[in-house]
Amino acid sequence: MALIVYEQEGVYIHSSCGKTSDQDSLISGILRVLEKDAEVIVDWRPLDDALDSSSILYARKDSSSVVEWTQAPKERGHRGSEHLNSYEAEWDMVNTVSFKRKPHTNGDAPSHRNEKSKWSFLFSLTDLKSIKQNKEGMGWSYLVFCLKDDVVLPALHFHQGDSKLLIESLEKYVVLCESPQDKRTLLVNCQNKSLSQSFENLLDEPAYGLIQAGLLDRRKLLWAIHHWKKIKKDPYTATMIGFSKVTNYIFDSLRGSDPSTHHRPPSEMADFLSDAIPGLKINQQEEPGFEVITRIDLGERPVVQRREPVSLEEWTKNIDSEGRILNVDNMKQMIFRGGLSHALRKQAWKFLLGYFPWDSTKEERTQLQKQKTDEYFRMKLQWKSVSQEQEKRNSRLRDYRSLIEKDVNRTDRTNKFYEGQDNPGLILLHDILMTYCMYDFDLGYVQGMSDLLSPLLYVMENEVDAFWCFASYMDQMHHNFEEQMQGMKTQLIQLSTLLRLLDSGFCSYLESQDSGYLYFCFRWLLIRFKREFSFLDILRLWEVMWTELPCKNFHLLLCCAILESEKQQIMEKHYGFNEILKHINELSMKIDVEDILCKAEAISLQMVKCKELPQAVCEILGLQDSEVTTPDSDIDEEENVGMTPCPASTFQSNALPTLAASGVRDDSPTQTSVSSDGCRLTPA
């Protein structure tokens, strides 16, 4: 049976078929929103036709995409008398994709009844693209529905009451937000902010498939959507709080009350995630084109040593008389192994981030700074000179400013550099981020970017230098904040590939707890661990990563090192989905940066020495035939002074039995399927 969740009489179409050309014909009808079999239908029909299912029109599209309205096939209107007075018969009709009245042949004028019948329509909510509202104070409230193929349906005028109740009903099923171009237009499932989009995808159309399959309780899903709509208004700060609550509710409803369903096959969650996040594939079956390998013995993991930070004296020794940096590779290796002393960061970061070329002279850098200063203030003047009246007509700039002001006021406020009211550091954060919107208006500002700028401004203590270092850093991080978030999806897949090679048993356990997609690492990757380490530790971690040593995507090995450190507790205490998420979140500010750098480097060296490394892993790490230049090479013995040995890892993947998805130990050899293109992973 169809459930009517909204019904309103006195909803009119103002047609142009009146007696005179300037007179509209008012066609009264009933508007309903209905639920049936996990689908939500919006249905309007003239009052006379409300009980006649055969009068429903459906769209027909020819090869040139010209569409017309045609009467529903007769066989659809004769399904037995039990269907004639219900909405059951309409659910298998083709969804409308246009509104264009079919011309009458031979000049025959239709009867009044037939004329009104031609205005009936229904469509599935999954086909809805946007809703346009009337201007305030313009008579009756009306709405215009636009479908996903840009078909526009006739305006519905609400003569009895307004359209607010309808909007509220629709918001139970879809996310609506104002269009940046037109406040009167509400976009459906809008994803204009990249960060919010990634989580919102979890509650998009694929969830309806779970309802249809009987896996997800509708009421709980609607609660989750309602909760998520609050989160999406401030996706960054609310993500890890709200996401836990929402996912908890969803997975509780997925599992239901039957204890036998508490250990669902990981394929269910994998299918859900692969649908909800296009491109994120964590499959459970082998597929053609995948490289199937037995578990690889990566060999013994070496002990790695860290050195003291590079001093100002060491830096100065490597500069020639004209100010060029000598032996750049050696300098990068020293920075990788020990980081930089704080007094040196203001100079060295400009080179590491690409603001200054490594082979530039002091004079060339001075000229470059002058040029970049002029360029910066020209861009700053662009937004500074926008009047309030202009900004009223520039919704994108207005939205950017609003987001920036909110984020700046909560970025690193416990740091002395940014604490207190009217702090000049906060003003500079705001101005740099606003100017970046002028520099890259397509991307503009996305929540989380203030976290990347804050340490740069702290070190540079100069607005212009901080801006250009930030712009260079954003060149590296841009893909994290793009609307489709393809960069984030790719990194999660690559991380899964690496972790499975290191410890397939741990991966199997995570999959058994619906965590195999590693979504709890999202924040780590998005803003490069900014919220996981103390402020000073982040300075050290970032400068090490900026050397691009010892391999490509070293930050993914850092993720592996952290997860390896937490593996024992997660598995021994049998953490489930929520416990894993909570545990990972609570690691914030508790991770030893030097220990993790040691472990990550040791993992890279272990992989480099492996002669049977899968091609997918080689591509992720940028290795050719398992050979790479490591920081151990070309370092003089005297540079090892002050090095601190790191403890050898207690984790050796080849020494551990596999833990199957069911939680049962499996000492038999296992196989792992790795995509040859490095983009997909298939555990066998």
pLDDT of residue 209: 37
With a threshold of 0.85, does the pTM exceed it? no
DSSP 395-440: HHHHHHHHHHHHHHTTSSTTSTTT-STT-HHHHHHHHHHHHHHHHS
> Which uninterrupted H or E stretch holds 186?
strand 185-188
Residue 513: pLDDT band by 50, 70, 90 thresholds?
very high
Residue 16: pLDDT band by 50, 70, 90 thresholds?
low
What gap in Å lies between CA 279 and CA 679, rounded to an integer?
9
pLDDT tens string 594-616? 999 999 999 999 999 998 899 99
Does CATH number 3.40.50.2300 belong to domain 312-476?
A: no
Strand 681-683, strand 671-675: pairing: antiparallel
3-state secondary structure 257-281: CCHHHCCCCHHHHHHHHHHHCCCCC
Average pLDDT, the chain: 74
Contact 318, 329 (CB under 8 A): no
pLDDT of residue 143 exceeding 60, the answer is yes
- The full set of domain ranges for the chain reads 3-17+24-48+118-188, 312-476, 486-621
pLDDT of residue 120: 85
What gap in Å lies between CA 520 and CA 569, rounded to an integer?
16
Question: Residue 2 is which amino acid?
Answer: A
Residue 265: pLDDT band by 50, 70, 90 thresholds?
very low
CATH topology assigned to domain 3-17+24-48+118-188: PH-domain like (2.30.29)
DSSP 220-243: HHHHHHHHHHHHHTSHHHHHHHHH
pLDDT tens string 406-449? 999 999 999 999 998 888 999 999 999 999 999 999 999 999 99
pLDDT of residue 652 exceeding 90, the answer is no
CATH topology assigned to domain 486-621: Cyclin A; domain 1 (1.10.472)
Whether 3-17+24-48+118-188 shares its CATH topology with 486-621 is answered: no
pLDDT tens string 535-555? 999 999 999 999 999 999 999
Contact 541, 530 (CB under 8 A): no
Top mean-pLDDT range of 26-40, 118-132, 419-433, 559-573: 559-573
Provide the 10 A C-beta neighbour count for residue 208: 21
Residue 9: pLDDT band by 50, 70, 90 thresholds?
confident
280 CA to centre of own chain: 11
pLDDT tens string 153-194? 988 988 877 788 899 889 888 888 888 888 889 998 754 443
What percentage of residues in the chain have a pLDDT greater than 70? 63
pLDDT tens string 202-228? 333 344 333 333 334 444 444 454 444
